Amino acid sequence: MVKVNRSENLQLTCSGSGSKTPTLSWKKGRQQMGTGETLSLTDLTYPMAGTYVCEASVPSISGLKRNESIQVIVEGKPEVEIQQTIIQELDQTVKLTCTVLGHPQPEIRWSIPGGKAPVKHSSNKYIAELLVELTPKLIQSGVQCTAENMYGSVKKNLELKMVTPTPSVSSKPALEEEQGQTGSTVAVIAVCVCVLILLLIVGFFYFMQRRGHLPCSRGEKRSLTPKEGTPDNTVVEMKADRRNEQTGLLSPGGGGGGGRGGGGGGTNEC
């Protein structure tokens, strides 16, 4: 572990030996920092603090690697970062955030009476969050965050900006337009379905009539019905093959008598 003051320079050295000369490289986390025996760090800042790893490897031999690590600590006066807080109405509770970088760990204070907040930290980064209820006086005076350690103290003002909320555009017209479009679509679909069903019905009756499965019309039946009062002039045609017709002509009582006297045995067909 090595401690360096902020803004100073630092040089890290690493060496390796073996039957074959190893290749040296430097990493900080997943970031590649450089190659060779020496790594130079200039004008150190707090984000440059952390663990640096020197890795020795032989490219011609797969999996042959060795590494050593060193932790760099940057010390100095705290640095304070404050984000502007935007509010839309009074008497609401907001979270104020003060972010501080530094080492040793700084003490963080708020200008609000009793304004002590729990601090979260990671490495040399410290975050203090404070919940406050907004008042006109607080907005006018603002809020101050102070960070202090053995190297000094830093103060930063947190500006509270009042913004008039923008009235939201009513979604009712859009909703009505969407409902109107939906209704039109349903109506068109209903008309198409009705037309399709009608076409299917007409096609079905036409097909059945062509196949001869439908009964004759009323007009055709009337053409085969004997006229009233003239039974002798009615001719009934029987459809049968040739053999049956000859048999009928040769049977007793056939010939002319069958048409006039035996009219009770005939059957009308379409």
Domains of the chain (ranges, CATH numbers)? 2-76 (2.60.40.10), 78-162 (2.60.40.10)
Q: Token pair of 76, please?
A: 């100095």
**pLDDT, position 151:** 94
Average pLDDT over residues 83-88: 67
Element (H, E) at 227: none
pLDDT for 36-85, tens place per residue? 999 999 999 999 999 999 999 988 888 888 999 999 999 999 999 887 66
Measuring CA to CA, which residue among 107, 153, 150 is closest to residue 3? 150
Q: Token pair of 75, please?
A: 């010390």
Report pTM: 0.55
What 3-state DSSP class applies to 137? helix
**pLDDT, position 114:** 67
Average pLDDT over residues 2-28: 91
What is the β-pairing status of strands 50-57 and 23-28? antiparallel
* pLDDT at residue 231 tops 60: no
Measuring CA to CA, which residue among 192, 184, 62, 76 is closest to residue 124? 76
